[in-house]
A and B are shown apart, each in its own frame.
Chain A
Amino acid sequence: MSEVVKSRPGAERDQGREIVKAYRTMLAARVLEEKLAALYRGGKIKGGVFLGRGQEALSVAVGQNLRPGDIFAPLIRDQAGRMAFGDTILDTLRTYLGSSLGSMRGRDGNIHRGRPREGYYAMISHLGAMIPVVTGGLLARRLQGQSGVVGATCIGDGGTSTGAFHEGLNAAAVEKLPLVVVVANNQYAYSTPNSRQFACADLLDKAIGYGVTGHKVDGTSLADCLRVIGVAITAARAGGGPQLIVGDLLRLVGHGEHDDASYVDPTLRRKPVGQDCIELAGAYIIQQGWASAEQLANWREELETEVDATAGRVMREPEPDPADEDWSALSTRELEDHFA
């Protein structure tokens, strides 16, 4: 951070602005996810609720460093990154509550949402699968003569063990495409600890094997996340090929809200990796004098009001009506098969 401050006059103010902006997005994600958890416990949300608590700093840094026109394929714990890339409280609630007005129209739910035509790809549940898809999106952009476009996607420590992760990152490296893969090493894949997931000393060791640039980041530090991911995205945009970022942090919730995470080693919470990135970022903002504790509390209160009002509105919206569905999986209606 200090080298940024010293680099030019006004840099500190710019950095403060960036950090405060990111913090407010993280806070929006945190407040929204608290509401999602409450709605789940109240039986209002069907299916699962998967939260990104503890991962907001790493996630927001991806979304905030991307530009309109870039491609972003977030994963399950990326509420903050999604919102930084343009997703809204409204569409998140609509998707979780299955509103017919949401982008997925009740056909898919929770974190499986996106608007692919706007570069915001909708994940499938199969881990690693979005890496080749973003890579292909970037290949098409190159074939269309576009340059300066970046495609970013997020994954966890467990997802790095999949074949799709390997195939996608390797293919992107062969094509030298501007792919940025952000690994949130949150110590557990559902209940499986790192020790049962991989045998390399650090997930960053994988970068050299693929011939891509690796970056390590403290996933609990918002300033570090913004800076390191900013460097990686700039390098990809400038033609430096794929970038692999590994952020160490701790998932501060269960895999989903159904999971009490009783398997998590309690000593991790007391280590630096177990710190809450939002608490750290808030304290840093106050310490730097960019905002007061009272302002932070006001932002939270405003967000809670907005989230509550939006949830109330969405719960009054129409559910999808099976009678209105065309029940077609093909856009070419004349090629539908018919079953008596």
Chain B
Amino acid sequence: MSITYLEAIREAQAKALADDPRVFIYGQDVGTFGGAFKATKNLAKEFPGRVIDSPISEDAIVGMAIGAAIEGARPIVEMQFADFSTVGFNQIVNQAATLYYRTGVSCPIVVRLPSGGTAGSGPFHSQSMEAIYAHYPGLVVLTPATVEDAYSMLLEAIAIEDPVIFCEHKFLYYHLKAESLPAEAQPIGKARIARPGRDLTIVTYGAMVHESLAAAEEIAADGFEIEVVDLRSIKPLDTDTVLASVARTGRLLCVGEAWPWGGVCAEVIARVTAEGFGLLDAPPMRLNAKDTPVPYHPALWGTHRPTASAVAASARQLLEI
């Protein structure tokens, strides 16, 4: 048997609904239709009354999840695309993220954001929102890059007492497969060494983990061993694992699919230069999407986002310094 990243998300939600009567799902087309991507396929049938179609109202979707959480429920809300979470932004950052600090009442909601680019999706169905949400205190921001993490981190997200922004990557939905669902998992907040190496560290997350692994494989032919760190969680960010890797390699390349300004790569580089300057044998480097809206045509999109060949080119450049 093999299971895709998307099926893992569906299975995690099915397990949460089965195990915890407080859990319910709310979002556009999530009911009988099973969701735009089928992440809730058959769940409305299996759990009657607990997988609820919403109007096209992202503010109300998130706001209602917050109210339900105050009353002891564990809501999972699906944004049809991460891009549309901007309409629910106020409820996420000003209501959910401040509730515990202000009132002492925690806000256990999970906001699922189908994130990142796929060919032909264009400016409004491709965005990577993780850095925006990580900027706000009071949110946990997750970016699973594997089938196993999609499953186990979503289950853990539902159990967490605080609001979780779950950035699941659409590019990985169908083609990423695993043999089975994991029985055990690394805890949230710990990064993972996706590939060990000694010459250069690539710190990355989400779909860029796979572009970076492909780049590392390509460069291995030249005799260089690239270490790839999959952050898994953007907030909290596992600085210790990153610093330990840079201590081994002396070189840091951060790769992110999001825009460069004030992003996850900028944060990682700030931490490594502040806390591990002496570990660096070369200036740290970042590779992000270009600073434009995400373009529609696959030829433009393929250049806008970092690809394996772009990552390899940056890594080679950094190795030569």
Contact = CB atoms under 8 A, between A and B. Distances in A.
Contact of B67 (A112, A139, A335, A338): A139
Contact of A170 (B55, B100, B160): B55
Interface stretch (B2-10, B70-78, B167-175): B70-78
Interface stretch (B89-97, B176-184, B206-214): B89-97
Contacts of B67: 71, 121, 132-140
- For this complex, into which size category does the number of interface residues on chain A fall? 35 or more
A174 B59 CA distance: 15
Contact of B161 (A104, A133, A170, A331): A331
Interface in B153-197: 160-162, 188-189
Contacts, number: 159
B24 interface: yes
A104 B58 CA distance: 28
B34 interface: no
A285 B298 CA distance: 75
Interface in A120-175: 121-122, 124-126, 129, 131-141, 143-144, 163-164, 167-168, 170-171, 174
Contacts of B95: 124, 126, 129, 133
Contacts of A144: 71-73
Contact of A132 (B62, B73, B100): B62
Contact of B189 (A104, A125, A335): A335
A321 interface: no
Contacts of A195: none
B147 interface: no
Contacts of B58: 167
A170 B64 CA distance: 12
B260 interface: no
B275 interface: yes
Contacts of B317: none
Interface string A317-340: 000000000001111101111101
Contacts of B160: 332, 335
Contacts of A104: 102-103
Nearest to B99: A116
Nearest to A131: B63
B308 interface: no
B189 A132 contact: no
Interface in B37-92: 49-50, 52, 54-55, 57-73, 75, 87, 90-91
A114 interface: yes
Interface in A96-126: 103-105, 107-108, 112, 114-117, 121-122, 124-126
A101 to B, nearest CB: 13
Interface stretch (B114-122, B234-242, B279-287, B289-297): B234-242
A171 B98 CA distance: 23
A77 B162 CA distance: 30
B162 A331 contact: yes
A332 B94 contact: no
Contacts of A334: 189
B60 A124 contact: no
Nearest to A138: B67
A171 B97 CA distance: 22
B60 A143 contact: no
B140 interface: yes
B102 A164 contact: no
Interface in A164-204: 164, 167-168, 170-171, 174
A129 B66 CA distance: 11
Contacts of A163: 59, 87
B181 to A, nearest CB: 23
Which of B65, B68, B105, B188 is packed against the most chain A CB atoms within 10 Å? B68
Contacts of A336: 236
A25 B70 CA distance: 28
A135 B94 contact: no
Interface string B138-158: 101000000000000000000
A288 B235 CA distance: 64
A140 B103 contact: no
Contacts of B128: none
B64 A133 contact: yes
A117 B105 contact: yes
Given A129-B90, A340-B275, A140 B68 contact: yes
Given A170-B57, A334-B189, A335-B160, A129 B63 contact: yes
Nearest to B77: A136
A135 B70 contact: no
A116 B103 contact: yes
B97 to A, nearest CB: 7
A299 B47 CA distance: 56
B59 A340 contact: no
Contacts of A329: 97-98, 100-101, 137-138
Given A107-B101, A126-B90, 12 more contacts: A112-B102, A129-B94, A132-B62, A136-B66, A139-B68, A140-B67, A144-B72, A164-B91, A168-B63, A170-B57, A332-B140, A338-B236
7 contacts: A104-B103, A133-B66, A144-B71, A167-B59, A331-B106, A332-B160, A335-B236
Interface of B: 24, 26, 49-50, 52, 54-55, 57-73, 75, 87, 90-91, 94-95, 97-106, 137-138, 140, 160-162, 188-189, 235-237, 239, 271, 274-275
Closest 4 CB pairs of A and B: A132-B63, A136-B67, A136-B64, A137-B67
